[in-house]
Amino acid sequence: MKINILLGSLAMLPTLCAPLPIKAATLDASDAEVTAREPSVIDIAMRSVVTISYGAEEDDPDGSGFVAHASGLIVTNAHVVARAKGDTVRVSFADGRTFTGTVVGRDPRTDLAVVRIEPDEPLIPLKLAPRSKAGLGTKVFALGSPMGKRFSVTAGIVSGYDRAYDAAWPVDFLQHDAALNPGNSGGPLIDEQGRVLGVNTATPPETLFDMGIALAIPAELVARIVPELAAKGEVDRGALGVKVSSADPAIAAALGADGEKGLLIDEVLPGSAAAQAGMKIGDIILAIGERKLRLARDLSLALLDSRPGETRAITLIRNGTRRIEQVALGKDDPSAGERGRVATLSLYPVDTSGKNRTFGATFSERDGSIVIDSVEEGSLAQLYGLYEGDIILAVNGQQPGDLGSLQARVGSMGGDVAVLRIQREGMGTFHVALPLTARASQERRPGDQKRFPQGPL
């Protein structure tokens, strides 16, 4: 009996294993909704994103941008359009439309630029968020064309605010972790409502590619700068007319400003507001108004919203004496040294047990000046970046005198550093701080800060 039942069951297997009849495929309601869904916030925002390029149409884009006004105004980075020939660029949309664009304004200090195109019909602009500080952890999307991958989107969160790129760039960046790579520059960083929180601009100077730290110019600054660029082509900004580097306490002490921090004037531009106010090379600027200055970017930040002709109170120290100068600002030329000079660094002395008086350079007197004739391999002078032909204008704020006087002054000076004022052909004047003690050598690392920056994306 059991055997017959088993055999009967086995006989049914072909029927059980036979394929089921195929019925006509149908879509349920959820499938239909997916197929005919409404465009997402990203889809809608991408319609306002553009690529910007110079070369042939098939070339990879040089950067990105987005529509800021229906009439055809495009916002991007100044460095994206820096190589435009005759201020002409190619502007392309995701739907295939391509226009010839004209760069109508740029502000190298903030790295913002405006391009105008002539569309056949009104464009759809993106709206700026009322404030970029939406809160840490806010979800964000970076829209652009990285590495030739046109009209891409990456996602992340807001990671921080008021970030610096280097010691000279006067922008307090919004930090996020949406991936940015070359080609993303100028593209918008949007929130989940499609509002622009910032203009994607750079990754940290240590890398050109994504490392989870991305920087965007905040919407508030964009809202202040772009209208003026569109109307006048430039920002009418005040200027002091100096080139500066950071003066930490050791440098300040060597120049008679013990216990202070500020900006050391390397050069006063002829005819500038600073020159007319009697400011001098070697002065240490402590503050503009109530704003204290520590890095080169602090000076630019303090003047970012200023206007030519405005009077500012400048607190400075000259030869150890504090003074306040009322200075009527001149007109800024943003193309002249807009990145400023990053604070200089000092070097290890040869003898780390105590005083070091060997800089590793030989000097001579030429036409009344002290000139560096040669620089030894591996010496302080070489490590710091002194070059043959450099002229020494001052040591700790004092003229060097003849060669014997220079050697005597260096051999007898106290303090942790010797501050040399150098003049170099093609570079003007600047300051170099050489360590004189073991403590100074440990606290002040060698290095050439020309690596700041390798350049934004």
Which whole number is the average pLDDT over 407-429? 77
Q: Superfamily for 361-451?
A: PDZ domain (2.30.42.10)
pLDDT at 18: 43
Question: Model confidence at 416, in pLDDT bands (50, 70, 90)?
Answer: confident
Residue 250 · residue 260 · CB < 8 Å = no
Confidence at residue 10, expressed as pLDDT on a 0 to 100 scale: 33
Cα separation values, 81 from 36, 98, 156, 157, 239, Å = 39, 17, 27, 28, 24
Instruction: List, for residues 332-358, the tens digit of each pLDDT value.
Output: 887 653 333 222 222 223 333 333 345
Is the pLDDT assigned to residue 280 strictly greater than 80? Answer: yes
Q: Is residue 200 classed as helix, strand or coil in its secondary structure?
A: strand
Identical fold for domains 139-232 and 238-331, yes or no, is no
What pLDDT score does 357 carry?
Answer: 42
Using DSSP, state whether 291 is helix, strand or coil. Answer: strand
pLDDT bucket at 381, cuts 50 / 70 / 90: confident
User: Would you place residue 28 in the very low, low, confident or very high pLDDT band (cuts 50, 70, 90)?
Assistant: low
pLDDT at 125: 96
How many other C-beta atoms lie within 10 A of the C-beta of residue 38? Answer: 7
Mean per-residue pLDDT of the chain = 80
pLDDT tens for each residue of 52-109 = 998 766 667 889 999 999 999 999 999 899 878 889 999 999 999 999 999 999 998 8
Q: How distant, in Å, are the alpha carbons of 33, 259, 321, 439 from that of 26?
A: 14, 81, 88, 80
Q: Which of 48, 62, 79, 431 is catalytic?
A: 79
Cα distance between residue 356 and residue 358, in whole Å: 6
- Tokens of residue 58, six digits: 């098939």
The superfamily CATH assigns to domain 41-116 is Trypsin-like serine proteases (2.40.10.10)
Tokens coding 313: 């109170």
pLDDT for the residue numbered 97: 94
What pLDDT does 105 receive?
A: 95
Beta-carbon count within 10 A of 435 CB: 26
Q: Is 438 exposed, middle or buried (0-12, 13-18, 19+ CB in 10 A)?
A: middle
Q: Of the residues 111, 283, 332, 390, which is catalytic?
A: 111
CATH of domain 139-232: 2.40.10.10
Asked whether residue 297 carries a pLDDT value surpassing 80, the answer given is yes
In the residue annotation, 176 being an active-site residue is answered as no
Domain boundaries, the chain: 41-116, 139-232, 238-331, 361-451
Query: Is 79 among the residues known to form the active site?
Result: yes
CATH class of 238-331: mainly beta
Question: In the structure encoding, which two tokens stand for residue 112, read together?
Answer: 């913002």
> Of residues 185, 245, 246, 300, which has the active-site annotation?
185
pLDDT, residue 83, reads 78
